[in-house]
Amino acid sequence: MSKTRVGIINVTGYAGSELARILHRHPDVEIAQVTGRSAAGKQLSEVFPHLLDADMEISPSLDDSVDFVFSALPHAASAEALSPFIEEDVRCVDISADFRLKDVNVFETWYKTAHPCPEYIENAVYGLPELHREDVKRSRLIANPGCYPTGTILGLAPAFDADIVETDVISDSKSGVSGAGRKGDVLYNFNEINDSMSAYGLSGHRHMPEMSQELSNLSRHGEVKVTFVPHLAPMTRGILGTHYATLTNGISQQETTDLYREFYADEPFVRVVGSAPSTKETWGSNHILINVNVDAYSGRLIVVTALDNLVKGAAGAGVQNMNLMLGLPEATGLEGLAIYP
Amino acid sequence: MSKTRVGIINVTGYAGSELARILHRHPDVEIAQVTGRSAAGKQLSEVFPHLLDADMEISPSLDDSVDFVFSALPHAASAEALSPFIEEDVRCVDISADFRLKDVNVFETWYKTAHPCPEYIENAVYGLPELHREDVKRSRLIANPGCYPTGTILGLAPAFDADIVETDVISDSKSGVSGAGRKGDVLYNFNEINDSMSAYGLSGHRHMPEMSQELSNLSRHGEVKVTFVPHLAPMTRGILGTHYATLTNGISQQETTDLYREFYADEPFVRVVGSAPSTKETWGSNHILINVNVDAYSGRLIVVTALDNLVKGAAGAGVQNMNLMLGLPEATGLEGLAIYP
Amino acid sequence: MSKTRVGIINVTGYAGSELARILHRHPDVEIAQVTGRSAAGKQLSEVFPHLLDADMEISPSLDDSVDFVFSALPHAASAEALSPFIEEDVRCVDISADFRLKDVNVFETWYKTAHPCPEYIENAVYGLPELHREDVKRSRLIANPGCYPTGTILGLAPAFDADIVETDVISDSKSGVSGAGRKGDVLYNFNEINDSMSAYGLSGHRHMPEMSQELSNLSRHGEVKVTFVPHLAPMTRGILGTHYATLTNGISQQETTDLYREFYADEPFVRVVGSAPSTKETWGSNHILINVNVDAYSGRLIVVTALDNLVKGAAGAGVQNMNLMLGLPEATGLEGLAIYP
Amino acid sequence: MSKTRVGIINVTGYAGSELARILHRHPDVEIAQVTGRSAAGKQLSEVFPHLLDADMEISPSLDDSVDFVFSALPHAASAEALSPFIEEDVRCVDISADFRLKDVNVFETWYKTAHPCPEYIENAVYGLPELHREDVKRSRLIANPGCYPTGTILGLAPAFDADIVETDVISDSKSGVSGAGRKGDVLYNFNEINDSMSAYGLSGHRHMPEMSQELSNLSRHGEVKVTFVPHLAPMTRGILGTHYATLTNGISQQETTDLYREFYADEPFVRVVGSAPSTKETWGSNHILINVNVDAYSGRLIVVTALDNLVKGAAGAGVQNMNLMLGLPEATGLEGLAIYP
């Protein structure tokens, strides 16, 4: 069987280079072309020495020799770059936010820009296989979930599915700095970040509407309101999410854990674990670890989630979606365990 | 005026050595004696090379030549070691938890040990000058607050004082690893902690009852329930606390900030800041930074606090209390700005 | 073809768990048994949650059902545990230092213990395939090189082979903390290590005689003296070695680089790179990056090497050796690119 | 006595803000004005929240109301900005490199720019009090030493003074990232630096000629050649220097340590310590720690130095020089012990 020829638009960010790393070891696809804006003409290994064995020239743009496209461009630019491929019915995974929100007005409010091609939103599938596997398989255009929403949605989905919590929830999430991208900005200078924690986005963060959209779909009581506070932690990879919801009944710790275990029983990349996970346990792997706690004193459900924001939160999820779209075993190329310590 | 002769019991932990660092530059006291269990007989600079200019021999115990005692021993051991000094009416600051909880049963439940001298609890003052300044001045025995409670109580006190929030609150706190002490334990080995976030204490943490005790004192609606989830962040110092409370009325962002600013108007070490602080901005200083946010969408108050757990969260607060007890200007020896970056 | 049944003695350290991680994805072997001293009876995933998909019970010892043995025990204990397998002619890779030094007196001087089975030293092969590939293929007992020596020997081997440097060299090496093992020791407590650099072993480090032994074999002018100063860097993985040697002739930068490139032309895991590497570029991969500099001003050769101490410096090299011993393609199971950033 | 009115040019970098932090607690001077290029008009606390208690408006430039000037501008810009003050005979400390090298040609070769005012070089004093104290006292213009040279020169000066080493030495130095300044450059992005070590400047670094100039002054055998390789370590502050020199005679460990102790016997900020120091032991303090080792096997002297690059390596040394120039006790305002851990 000939390998699927994959193109990566904007390989020069962290999500793009992570796609290259993962796909390099994927047995059923080959990386046919990669693009990068300012880096066009350079070798991939000049920008990313760790990709030395996956070396190739960076192109200014993809041509029509590719069978499958990933875009790791920022929002708006991404939809624009994908447009011609969508038009030609080439299967696409968009790592950006452009096709995640079903309501284009919500997108335009939060992202403060006009959507370049709202006509494609309807057919895009929100690429969380744990919730939309069959749709992903049939889709030609995947909106890959945001890194924070992946943790929050998977952390709370079983609770909304089982109708055990109220619709007003809190996501206190702590992210590694790679989530902010590969930027030359004094805000992300090592000295400013190292050995320090901070909150941000207190007046609203763009990932919140995604969380609300997906959890509301599962809710039997209308819109789910998410109070979402992201934090910057002095680490490169990883998102630890601590989620607080009010239980609507006296469900026990054991029942809740069982309910979660059952919900995710057949999932290749979700593990409901018995003690609080650390993000390091997911470094470089496509797993999400979920730990469920019932606090009887306050009547709260506290769910802790850990994942690698560049893998399950971006490139790994993208490859998982690609596998489903191509009819391949879902875990192909994603078998690697986390690098620890 | 002759200098007050201070003794430090258990100088060999992080709170103890931080006391030595701060007191070394204090103009009105001298460090007369320091003790350390296994290190007795050694020079202080053998254990802590950074204290080279404050060198002295570590004693097995304090003698009666000291006028003022700090204990940085673990709970139970601390009360026991302080007993003879309390008995002799020597002024004491206990960095441990032994005298913080007014109800000895609550202490014994959470700390799983008999209290060595419950008879002294009544006269002990919870050493948060921002709430109990006059009592601190008159006290002979100070229960220095826990590091986490300092952030949570100061972060929420103005809201309870102004009666603008419900009594059920959440403290999602992220601490540097020095909070766990100077331990040889694989759990705190660099490799296990570095580049990783984790939650812990999900089944209950000892600092919660302190928070509840102090906030309940301020509440006009009875007991304050605190859902407290501590987290370990890959940094040495600092606690960032993110606190969530439900507003009981439609108070605005500006009104809330004003209310906080007024509450802390004369405080030498509390700053209500206009944007979310980072813990690094408090490294080595006795300040706590507080940022107040009203989330109109969810009707929540979100308060972010940042402090250095070894200074305002331990040794610095201890010196602040000592200054008040000795009738000195409250900020003496604590004028240093944070070391940044 | 049935898979080779591999046993790992002492899986509970960092080298042992790294072996499990790598072998889990190796297509031609299966992990048949793993041992751990205090952890016997536990599941592997209890000790290492990141190995959840490679779960199995930890045994007190290996039985005779294994076809191939890795030992990741400390020195002396390792040789003792391997003895019965060596006796039975089971192929073994010893990650410890027990069989590295050909002169048992040198071993006993540096390791301050009697060697448990010096009779096996003669047949052991120093497992650096780049220098001893054919011997490795034929060997039944491999002494896997130390992490520091791997960088220093590979960094200087081409220079000694080409006879361009004097025999008195310096290795200034900076290691991540995982090199010190998974220990509960206050020296390696996060707080003590974080944000700090230090030198150690200034009165002599055990890895020096290995460097000297292997480089002396290549030297045409007798014994190579290595001044080796190891340093602890505040990072988990990686060794950066900076090596200084005096050039014996006026060889140019280009000639030296060419000479290195030729020496390593067919090596699957050695890359001679054109600019100074960072250790992060090797995180989790079996590659070593080598950068060669001729300093005409001082007449010195300066060679910078970067590798992952747990992969090319321990477990990865072990698997590379295993592949050669089993007649498999040398890179099997080691194809993963580094995880960056 | 009225306080000296100090101006800081370019307070918005790390050296500038560190000057503000230290001078804020200095009893004999007041910070009269501070400048910053793009930040003019802002409050100091907007740029640096940790300076909240030292708040003032940032000016576009200093006026003539200041009695003493520090410049923390980059080279060339610094000399240009200082020119009018030098002209008016206002005492100046230049943190930049502009007046460090006595030979303007050497400056122009290494810094690749014309010197804006070479006429002032002759009267400038290289501000290392340990070597030039009396000249510093009399000087009106101090060239504050570079951060790396401070460690290397102080680490090797006693050996050259005592004539025990050959003139060809190696400085392998590892610096925290604050040495690279407060920059928005992807090279210093947290993700790129964190958990990684790298060498740089392998084709020559600007700090080398300073080292050579000062050590050559002490040498009795002509020019000292320094092979200097700087490294970037994943930490914010600190420089650990490991220095290698060839001993010319059979001097013992004890004799060498004694010689160093005697050389620095009266120095307030130099400590010759008995074991290898870590940079963390100097965090925020003006001390340099020096550890001396004689390696009899190789006949080498190995000197390890540790200092805080922003204090003894920049702002602290500047204040030490200022104290001498103003006739104040040398340690005024610099009494703080290191913040540890």
Please return the burial class of D24, using the count of CB atoms within 10 Å of its CB with bins 0-12, 13-18 and 19+: middle
Q: How confident is the model at residue D281 (pLDDT cuts 50, 70, 90)?
A: very high
Reported as a single tens digit per residue, the pLDDT across C283-319 is 999 999 999 999 999 999 999 999 999 999 999 999 9
DSSP letter for B312, please: I
The pLDDT of residue C39: 94
Do C117 and C192 belong to one domain? no
Q: What is the mean pLDDT of residues B39-49?
A: 95
Tokens of A93: 């995974």
Q: Which residues are CB-neighbours of B119 under 8 A, at least 6 positions away?
A: none
Contacts of A341 in chain C (CB under 8 A): 14, 178, 182, 236-237
Whether the complex's predicted ipTM is more than 0.90 is answered with: yes
Q: What is the mean pLDDT of residues B95-105?
A: 98
CATH of the domain at C96: 3.40.50.720
> Using an 8 Å Cβ cutoff, are D34 and D8 in contact?
yes
Closest CA to B246 of B170, B300, B302: B300
Reply yes or no on whether the pLDDT at A1 is more than 90.
no
Task: Verify whether the Cβ–Cβ distance D190 to A14 is below 8 Å.
Answer: no
Do B153 and B298 belong to one domain? yes
Task: Verify whether the Cβ–Cβ distance B194 to C194 is below 8 Å.
Answer: yes
Q: Is D43 within the bounds of a domain?
A: yes
Reported as a single tens digit per residue, the pLDDT across B244-297 is 999 998 999 999 999 999 999 999 999 999 999 999 999 999 999 999 999 999
Q: Is D266 within the bounds of a domain?
A: yes
Q: How confident is the model at residue A156 (pLDDT cuts 50, 70, 90)?
A: very high
**Strand pairing partners for B292?**
B303
Contacts of B203 in chain A (CB under 8 A): 293
Alpha helices in B112-207 (DSSP H): 129-138, 147-161, 190-193
Q: Is B313 on the interface with A (CB under 8 A)?
A: no
Do D109 and D166 belong to one domain? no
Q: What is the mean pLDDT of residues D150-159?
A: 98
Q: How many domains does chain A have?
A: 2
How far apart, in whole angstroms, are the C-alpha atoms of residue A289 and residue A27? 26
The pLDDT of residue A47: 94
> Using an 8 Å Cβ cutoff, are C32 and C5 in contact?
yes
> Using an 8 Å Cβ cutoff, are B212 and B176 in contact?
no
Reply yes or no on whether the pLDDT at A312 is more than 80.
yes
Task: Verify whether the Cβ–Cβ distance A191 to D185 is below 8 Å.
Answer: no
Q: How confident is the model at residue D1 (pLDDT cuts 50, 70, 90)?
A: low
Alpha helices in B114-250 (DSSP H): 129-138, 147-161, 190-193, 208-218
Reply yes or no on whether the pLDDT at C243 is more than 90.
yes
The pLDDT of residue B37: 85
Tokens of C70: 């890795």
Reported as a single tens digit per residue, the pLDDT across B160-173 is 999 999 999 999 99
Do C112 and C261 belong to one domain? no
Alpha helices in chain B (DSSP H): 14-24, 44-47, 77-87, 104-111, 129-138, 147-161, 190-193, 208-218, 253-263, 316-325
Contacts of D237 in chain C (CB under 8 A): 195
Q: Which helix (H) or strand (E) holds C255?
A: helix C253-263
Reply yes or no on whether the pLDDT at A287 is more than 70.
yes
Reported as a single tens digit per residue, the pLDDT across B104-120 is 999 999 999 999 999 99
Pairing of strands D239-246, D300-307: antiparallel
Which chain D residue is nearest to residue B268, measuring alpha carbons?
D53
Select the residue of C203, C233, C242 nearest D172 (Cβ to Cβ).
C242
How far apart, in whole angstroms, are the C-alpha atoms of residue A213 and residue D65? 61
Q: Is C296 on the interface with A (CB under 8 A)?
A: no
Return the HEC string of D21-79: HHHHCCCCEEEEEEECCCCCCCEHHHHCHHHHHHCCEEECCCCCCCCEEEECCCCCHHH
Do D118 and D153 belong to one domain? no
Q: What is the mean pLDDT of residues C3-18?
A: 98
The pLDDT of residue A37: 86
Do D297 and D156 belong to one domain? yes
Q: How confident is the model at residue A78 (pLDDT cuts 50, 70, 90)?
A: very high
C180 vs chain A: nearest CA distance in angstroms? Answer: 12
Reply yes or no on whether the pLDDT at C37 is more than 90.
no
How far apart, in whole angstroms, are the C-alpha atoms of residue D141 and residue D92? 5
Average pLDDT over chain D reads: 97
> Using an 8 Å Cβ cutoff, are A206 and A111 in contact?
yes
C186 vs chain B: nearest CA distance in angstroms? Answer: 4
DSSP letter for D313, please: I
For residue D10, what are the domain limits?
4-123
SS3 C336: coil
Do C173 and C116 belong to one domain? no
How far apart, in whole angstroms, are the C-alpha atoms of residue D276 and residue D261? 15
Q: What is the mean pLDDT of residues A89-105?
A: 98
Please return the burial class of A324, using the count of CB atoms within 10 Å of its CB with bins 0-12, 13-18 and 19+: buried
Average pLDDT over chain C reads: 97
Closest CA to B181 of B236, B126, B230: B236
How far apart, in whole angstroms, are the C-alpha atoms of residue B258 and residue B264? 10
CATH of the domain at C297: 3.30.360.10
Give the amino acid at D280.
Answer: K
Please return the burial class of A224, using the count of CB atoms within 10 Å of its CB with bins 0-12, 13-18 and 19+: buried
Pairing of strands B68-71, D141-143: unpaired
3-state class percentages of chain D: helix first, strand second, coil last, to nearest 5: 35, 25, 40
Contacts of A202 in chain B (CB under 8 A): 276, 291, 293, 295, 302, 304
DSSP letter for A188, please: G
B250 vs chain A: nearest CA distance in angstroms? Answer: 17
Do A235 and A109 belong to one domain? no
The pLDDT of residue D37: 85
Q: Is C329 within the bounds of a domain?
A: no
Q: Is A14 on the interface with C (CB under 8 A)?
A: yes
Reply yes or no on whether the pLDDT at B75 is more than 90.
yes
Reported as a single tens digit per residue, the pLDDT across A158-213 is 999 999 999 999 999 999 999 999 999 999 999 999 999 999 999 999 999 999 99
Contacts of B336 in chain D (CB under 8 A): 25, 336
Do C97 and C176 belong to one domain? no
> Using an 8 Å Cβ cutoff, are C155 and C210 in contact?
no
CB pairs under 8 A between B and C: 66
Q: Is C315 within the bounds of a domain?
A: no
Closest CA to A64 of A28, A33, A38: A33
Verify whether residue C147 is a known catalytic residue: yes
How far apart, in whole angstroms, are the C-alpha atoms of residue C50 and residue C53? 8
> Using an 8 Å Cβ cutoff, are D126 and D154 in contact?
no
Closest CA to C245 of C220, C226, C221, C217: C226
Q: Is A234 within the bounds of a domain?
A: yes
Reported as a single tens digit per residue, the pLDDT across D192-222 is 999 999 999 999 999 999 999 999 999 999 9
Task: Verify whether the Cβ–Cβ distance A338 to C50 is below 8 Å.
Answer: yes
Pairing of strands D141-143, D288-295: unpaired
Q: Is B340 within the bounds of a domain?
A: no
Do C305 and C191 belong to one domain? yes
Average pLDDT over chain B reads: 97
For the residues of A28-66, what is the DSSP string, one character each? Answer: TEEEEEEE-TTTTTSBHHHH-GGGGGG--BEESS--TT-
Q: How many alpha carbons lie under 13 Å from residue D278 in its C-beta half-sphere? A: 25
Q: Is A186 on the interface with D (CB under 8 A)?
A: yes
In the set C147, C154, C292, C306, the catalytic residue is: C147
Q: Is C75 within the bounds of a domain?
A: yes
The pLDDT of residue A284: 98
Q: What is the mean pLDDT of residues A43-63?
A: 94
SS3 C40: coil
Do A185 and A51 belong to one domain? no
Contacts of C340 in chain A (CB under 8 A): 17, 21, 48, 50
Do B117 and B160 belong to one domain? no
Q: How far is CA A8 from the centre of its chain?
A: 17
Q: Is C188 on the interface with B (CB under 8 A)?
A: yes
> Using an 8 Å Cβ cutoff, are B201 and B230 in contact?
yes
Reply yes or no on whether the pLDDT at B183 is more than 70.
yes
Q: Is B137 within the bounds of a domain?
A: no
The pLDDT of residue C1: 66
A236 vs chain C: nearest CA distance in angstroms? Answer: 7
Tokens of C10: 């002492």
How far apart, in whole angstroms, are the C-alpha atoms of residue D90 and residue B12? 48
Task: Verify whether the Cβ–Cβ distance D339 to B283 is below 8 Å.
Answer: yes
Return the HEC string of B81-105: HHHHHHHCCCEEEECCCCCCCCCHH
Which chain B residue is nearest to residue C177, measuring alpha carbons?
B191
